[in-house]
Amino acid sequence: MYQYNAIDQAIVDARVAQFAEQMDRYLQGSLSDEQFAPLRLQNGLYLQRHAPMLRVAIPYGTLDSRQLRKLADIARRFDRGYGHFTTRQNIQFNWLDMAEVPEVLGELAKVQMHAIQTSGACIRNTTTDPLAGAVADEAMDPRVVCELIRQWSTLHPEFASLPRKFKIAVTATDTDRAAIEVHDIGIRLKRHAVHGVAFDLWVGGGLGRTPVIGRRLLADLPVAELRNWLTAALRVYNLAGRRDNKYKARIKILVNAMGLQAFREQVTHRYLSDHDPALRIQARELDDLAACFSRPLEPRLDVPLPAAPEFQRWFGQNTRPHRVSGYRVVFLSLKRPGTAPGDVTATQMEAVAALAEKFSLSEIRTTHDQNLVLPHVDCSDLESLWRALAAQDLAHPNINLISDSIACPGIDFCSLANAPSLSLAEALHETFADLEEQMAIGPLEVKISGCMNACGHHHIGHIGILGVEKKGEPWYQLTIGGRDQNGVVLGERLGPAVPHDAVLPLIRRVVDRYLAERQQGEIFVDYVARCGIKSLKEVSYATH
Amino acid sequence: MPLIDVSGSPTSQALPPATGITEANTTSVGHAPVVTLVFDGPTDGKAFSAAAVLRSEGYAGTLVGIGPVGIDRLTQGFRVGFDLLEITDTELQQLKPCHLAPFPHHYQPNPNGHPALKKSA
């Protein structure tokens, strides 16, 4: 993993001091609520429905055991004993005392963590494949590029007051597990005959109230020029992006208004005109960063695995192949009955930190699906790990199944939301309580958002659920057939919105129709692609 | 309202009319000794990029930023190439050295030739 040097540490420490001074001015009345808002937001501090919420950055979703222990410590000392992993690989604490936030930031800085730019109209935490460095077909470890972007974008003086928030994602495999096509900028790293590794630059994707699939702006660019190209694209956006209407301020709106070709010409003009040699990435810099993330592992001989059905079910559902034979990637499900998706107690965090030390080179990953990953587990340790995870209620074998839903905090916490999200996630557990049935249904991603801001990414769920307000009551709009990998597809609206208690019966009818009509081995989203949603519409609303 | 320089010292400066940001390039401003760019609001950052473009294209005159910059954005303004930034009288009274230089290092190069890009360790 990347380790801070003295300069990184000095910057983060200075940011803590800066925010403490800003907080002092606010608490003393020198700063109004309006003046303080952009300052606190750029340190991840929100005012939620019940209490201040702090969003802590987990750069590119990679943590070490020491950092996870610190998050547990903060959860216990400053919050209510738990944290909430988000759909952008970060963690949120929902019950902080505002006056204590500078102290929390100081604690984070002790383990090379921060909350810088986890909110606000600036460049947010760069996300990537949660399996980075552990899978076989990477052009390079995408975290190398993510770390370059982290440094370049951190406290960037030119881009701290953008028209709107700005999200970048990076992938380095053919299978895009970072959903780059629904980000403001997506970077696809690939092997290249001339440059060794090159990248394609995608632009203008995003969800929210105006979902747009990004388009490829430029192709086959050398990685050495990444910072100059990003500067050019951000500069065009900052100069031309709308500021008169926050719902029209994202880069996707600008690209659509300008046209892709005109946007491309402007970005290319800025790149050529403003090119800065100091931004060029040297081979040595790439090599040094690559060394930070490198995890040399010796291949191991296959070992016999326990034949117990419970172990086999967990192994099949919650582990994936590793780039090195004899190792597996292990998913820890944070979707259990009775627990909000992504919630983890301080005790569980400490347990995972210890298990990562023992079984996964002290590395932990966070996923967009609000689960955790231990990326480098020796197969001979799998049984011990499985038993230890089960003791912590973290071995629920439902990864990618219908109960592995993702959900924003919804109206239970968020002041923007129209409707509850978490109760629907719980209802999925109740309706599909039988794991054997879930496995028979196969991969089915349910994504739940409590409002149009789409923090639950409902547009790209196989089944998407959007909370809307109707005459003061929460109702839900379902979309079907969305997908976030291998060619993003936005889900199609199933029909009229329904009240809370009608959502799960409706999903049950959709699933039953799919089971009745699918071809052998056909997963839900492929069935929808083949048949469309006409049949599902008919069955869904037959009784309404 | 007072204009301050990078050291926080107030200065009196006769300003030319503000330059429209969409035209803020060296072709439009030519060899004007002073160019004034406007911040439309406390969260408007368009002028940061306008200033950066002018410096990138070689503009060497005096760049002035007016409008609600705010003392917490002064460091950004000076780092992208402004020479003078406007603040209110109240802000001038509150101004401390930490507002002008809150960070000992920066990751980005500076158009005024100040701290260089940090190289990863």
- Domains of chain A by residue range: 6-109, 127-288, 309-391, 411-540
In this complex, the residue of B57, B98, B116 whose CB is nearest that of residue A273 is B57
pLDDT computed for residue B120 by the predictor = 39
Please state, in angstroms and rounded to a whole number, the distance separating the CA atoms of residues A295 and A374: 13
Q: State how far residue B56 is from chain A, nearest Cα, in angstroms.
A: 5
Question: Cα–Cα distances in Å, from A515 out to A400, A437, A509?
Answer: 17, 11, 10
Name which CATH class applies to A127-288.
alpha beta
Helical segments of A42-167, H only:
65-78, 101-109, 142-153
Tokens of A156: 């960037």
Q: With a cut of 50, say whether residue A400 has pLDDT above it.
A: yes
Interchain proximity A239–B43, CB inside 8 Å: no
Interchain proximity A239–B21, CB inside 8 Å: yes
Tell me the fold of A309-391. Answer: Alpha-Beta Plaits (3.30.70)
Residues 82-121 of chain B whose Cβ lies under 8 A from any Cβ of chain A: 94, 98, 102-109, 116-121
Interface ipTM: 0.93
Interchain proximity A157–B46, CB inside 8 Å: no
Q: Determine contact, residues A328/A321, Cβ cutoff 8 Å.
A: yes
Q: Residue A518 gets which letter from DSSP?
A: P
Q: Please, which contacts does A412-415 make with residues 24 or more away whose CB atoms are closer than 8 Å?
A: A412/A49, A413/A48, A413/A49, A413/A50, A413/A53, A413/A94, A414/A48, A414/A49, A414/A450, A414/A451, A414/A455, A415/A47, A415/A48, A415/A49
Please state, in angstroms and rounded to a whole number, the distance separating the CA atoms of residues A348 and A388: 11
Question: Cα–Cα distances in Å, from A474 out to A48, A49, A543, B75, B83?
Answer: 19, 16, 21, 45, 53
Q: With a cut of 60, say whether residue B119 has pLDDT above it.
A: no
Burial A71-82 (b: 16+ CB within 10 A, else e): bbbbbbebbeeb
Tell me the fold of A6-109. Answer: Sulfite Reductase Hemoprotein; domain 2 (3.90.480)
pLDDT, tens digit, 9 for 90 and up, residues A260-269: 999 999 999 9
Give the pLDDT mean for A355-374: 97
With CA atoms as reference, the chain A residue closest to B77 would be: A157
pLDDT computed for residue A543 by the predictor = 58
Give the pLDDT mean for A89-103: 95
Q: Determine contact, residues A264/A217, Cβ cutoff 8 Å.
A: yes
Tell me if A127-288 shares its fold with A309-391: no
What is the pLDDT confidence band of residue B113, given thresholds at 50, 70 and 90? very low
Give the pLDDT mean for B38-56: 94
In this complex, the residue of A152, A157, A278 whose CB is nearest that of residue B48 is A157
pLDDT, tens digit, 9 for 90 and up, residues A413-438: 888 888 999 999 999 999 999 999 99
Interchain proximity A161–B73, CB inside 8 Å: yes
SS3 A535: helix
Interchain proximity A243–B44, CB inside 8 Å: yes
Closest CA to A227 of A276, A182, A192, A165: A276
With CA atoms as reference, the chain A residue closest to B39 would be: A161
Q: Determine contact, residues A256/A242, Cβ cutoff 8 Å.
A: no
| Residues present in chain B in total | 121
pLDDT computed for residue B14 by the predictor = 77
Tell me the fold of A411-540. Answer: Sulfite Reductase Hemoprotein; domain 1 (3.30.413)
Q: Higher model confidence: residue A492 or residue B30?
A: A492
Tokens of A278: 């100091």
Does any CB of chain A come closer than 8 Å to the CB of residue B22? Answer: yes
Averaged confidence pLDDT in chain A: 95
pLDDT computed for residue B117 by the predictor = 45
Q: Determine contact, residues A394/A371, Cβ cutoff 8 Å.
A: no
Q: Determine contact, residues A408/A425, Cβ cutoff 8 Å.
A: no
With beta carbons under 8 A apart, name residues in chain B contacting A11. Answer: 103-107
Q: State how far residue B49 is from chain A, nearest Cα, in angstroms.
A: 6
Question: Cα–Cα distances in Å, from B58 out to A229, A234, B66?
Answer: 20, 20, 21
